[in-house]
Each structure stands twice: as C-alpha cells, then as structure tokens.
Amino acid sequence: MDSRRPIALLSVALPAFRAARVDLVRVLAGGGTAPGTTGMSRRTRHVFLIAQLALSLAPLAGAGLLIRSLVRLQRVDPGFSAGQRLTLSYSAPRARYREREKIAALAERLRDEVSQLPGVQAAGLAQALPFAAGIGWLQAITRQDPKSIDNPANLPHVRYNVVSTGYVEALGVPLKAGRTFTKADTREAQPVVIINESLARKYFAGEDPLGKQFWVGHAQALSGYQPRAVVGVIGDTLLNKLEEQAEAAAWVPLSQQEASEDTWRTLFLIVNTKTDPLGIIAGIRQQIAKVDADLALTDIRTMEGRLDESVWRQRLAATAMGALSLAALVIATLGVFGIIGYLVSRRTHEIGVRMAIGANRRDIIRLVMREGVWFTLAGVGLGLAGAMSMTRYLSSLLYGVSAYDPITFVVAALSLAGAAMLACYLPARRAAKVDPLIALRHD
C-alpha cells in the first residue's frame, strides 16, 4: 500500500469532518458566518478593533479636560480690566536722574504728557505690573511700633508696590472704599497707603481699615519709617498666574517711596485707551520724547496679551492633545469602517441567503450593527479604564476641573461610540442594498 495514501485520506477527512459539524439550519437562520470570518482571523480583527477604540479614548478624554480647563481659566477675573490697555517699561538714565525727587518728577511728567493724548482715559506708573517681569516685593508689615519688636525678621510680609497717581484708574482695579492717590500725597504730607481686600480681611478683621495706621517696608529698616495711614481699599488682583490665589498687598505713592532710588528707577507705564491700544504707540513715543528723548521704551504689549501669555502652557497642551485626539478619532473611525466593510463583504453570500428566506433590509442592518455594538462597548469600556489612569498625569495643567471629571469622560465615550456606530452603519446600509440574486452567486 502506498504510504502517501493515508496522508491524502487524512487531509481530505479533516476538512470534511469540519464541514460536517456546521449547523446548516443555524447558518440559514442567521447564526452562521462566511469563510474568512470564523476562527482566529475574525477574533483577531475584533481584538484589533477593541484595542484601537480603547487607545483612542485616552487622548479624547485628555483633550476634553484640557480644553474645559483652559476655558475656565480664561474666564477667571484677574481683579482688573485688561481690555484696551497698553503697557510698557522704561529706565531713567542714572547719569541725569540720581535723586529720588527727580525720578518721581520724571514719572509724573510722563504720566501727565501721556494722559493728554486723544483717546487716553487714564495713565499710571508702577514699580510692579501684574503678569509682567516684576510682580512686587515682599515687605514686612506690623501695626505695632517696630522699635518695640525684638526680631523684626519674624514679622509677616505682604506684596508691596510703588505706584503713581492714576495707576488704580489706568489698571481698572475697583475702588472698594476711600480714595486713590492724588498729587497732594507728597513727601511732606502724611504717609499714606492703599490696601487690597485680602490685607483688610487679614489685618483689620471686623474693623474699618480707613484711617488706621501700620508700618510697612524692609524689616530691618522699619524702625526708621513713619506709619502709613490707610486712605483706600481696592479689590484683590492676581499677579502672575490666573490659577493662583490673591495675596495681601499694600500700595504706596511713588512720591513717598522710602527705598533708594535705584530700586524704582525702572517703572512700568499702563495706559487705558478708548480705542485700539496698539494704535497709540506712536503718539506715546512722541509724548515721552517731549519729556526725555533718551528714554528707551521696552516690553511694549497689551494687557490682554500678557494675560494670554500667562496660559501658554495650558493652551499648548490643549492644542497638542486636541490634535492628537482628532487624529486618533479619525484613525479609529476609518479602522472600524474598513474592518466592518471587509467582514460584511465576506458575508455577502450569507446575507443573500438571509434575504432569500425573508430577511428585510432592516434585519440586515441590525445584524451588522449588533456585532459593531459589542466590540464598541468593549473598546469604550477598556478605554475608560485606561483614560482614567492617564488623565491623572494632567492634574498639574488643570484648573477648576478634576482629572476624573465625569462629564468629560461621558462626552468622550459618547463621541467615540457615535463615530464607531457611524462607521458600522455605512457598511451595514450598503450590505442591505445588495441584490439577493447577486449575493447568492457571490463566491
């Protein structure tokens, strides 16, 4: 007997045995599948689909969190009006401006000249400007006579700023009580100070702070300073970041500044305009040149621009994650569409049989969509678990939104599921339009 005969018989018997196990009734009734859609190949394709959907959900959820956080951050009230405000800085030449009186007089002349420009509503100068390079010093504060304090270095500290007349109005900080600085607040007059609401709550709780006195300045020099009387209370302002908390702050008049002149030789100018602030740059240059043509103007920007720059990290992260999530969603949708389309094409004969025995187009669409629903649910479910593990690393970039925000995750999951269902529906709709006679002849 030829030794190859048993092998040949076995090679024929195995497919025959496998074919004999097929339930023809179930195939005709709708439970069967076509060649190429059974076994490992079909399971492998479904695994790839589930993995693709799961991996797509993490960037979708991350983008949603970052975008919601950025929107909330941009709605934060910084405590002042940023619109229609131009800012710049200048430095007084040391050769001509050595005495503090000359530096203060220069600042007042600059403010007066700029204020006369058409379209300018208010102008002011300050040693520190919110969301700029300088945000003010920290200085010691006490309501007790510094001469009776053993160790002034242990005194609490507050944000300290030196400002000119008109600065409160130019910045657009709301005045809550009292008044702002005037030209009457000279070095010969009583030392005065404006405080913000945080300082009022912290050091004057339950009291009316207007008229109250305290010492503020360098801790080791406080004993040589005079106490300052509170003449105004303003709203809290943020200094460097929109996500930070306001700090207790004290503002003193430029004309009564007690530190050496070198510490406030460089000042910021802020101008509140009625029109586009960038349109008056040339006019401001001309007015400043009238006072001193040698003054170099630097860091010319709108206040809105400074606020926008303060959230560049969050905006960059939201843009990058948004682009990644869009790419992931498109790739996942195309993947679902391609694989479902392929599986449907491999079941053309089966679809023809179903339609021949009475299935209508709605039944065919339901058949394909039912299969898509299961792997979509599996992919979204796994994706949610993975996304929650990933988004916790975004916590440092989030503001006002939890890394596990349920609304964001639900929207991301529904968006992905909706895209997957659309990708399933298109091949299903095409399959339902197949002519049964052509489908039955399909190989």
pLDDT of residue 434: 62
Q: What own/partner pairs with CB < 8 Å and gap ≥ 24 does 223-226 have?
A: 223/146, 223/147, 223/152, 225/146, 225/191, 225/258, 226/191
Q: What percent of the chain has pLDDT over 90?
A: 53
User: What is the number of other CB atoms lying within 10 angstroms of the CB of residue 83?
Assistant: 12
Averaged pLDDT score across all residues of the chain: 84
pTM of the predicted structure, to 2 decimals: 0.77
Residue 42: band (very low, low, confident or very high) from pLDDT cuts 50, 70, 90 = low
Please, how many CA atoms are within 13 Å of residue 150, restricted to the half-sphere of its CB? 0
pLDDT at 66 over 60: yes
Task: Give domain limits for the chain.
Answer: 33-75+313-440, 93-294
pLDDT at 301 over 50: yes
pLDDT of residue 351: 66
pLDDT of residue 96: 83
Residue 356: band (very low, low, confident or very high) from pLDDT cuts 50, 70, 90 = low
pLDDT of residue 141: 94
pLDDT of residue 440: 53
136-171: pLDDT as tens digits = 689 999 999 998 888 888 899 999 999 999 999 999
d(CA 134, CA 154): 24
Among the listed ranges 11-20, 55-64, 178-187, 392-401, which one has the minimum average pLDDT value?
11-20
Of 19-33, 42-56, 360-374, which has the strongest mean pLDDT? Answer: 42-56
Cβ contacts of residue 406 below 8 Å, gap of 6+? Answer: none
pLDDT of residue 436: 58
Helices (H), 75-99: none
The interaxial angle of helices 361-391 and 406-432, nearest 10 deg, is 150
pLDDT at 17 over 70: no
pLDDT of residue 15: 41
Q: What is the mean pLDDT of residues 14-25?
A: 43
Q: Is 358 left (phi over 0), alpha (psi -120 to 50) or beta?
A: left
3-state secondary structure of 293: coil
pLDDT at 16 over 70: no
Length of the chain (residues):
443
Among the listed ranges 8-12, 33-37, 373-377, which one has the minimum average pLDDT value?
8-12
Q: What is the mean pLDDT of residues 337-349?
A: 74
Closest CA to 255 of 184, 207, 307: 184
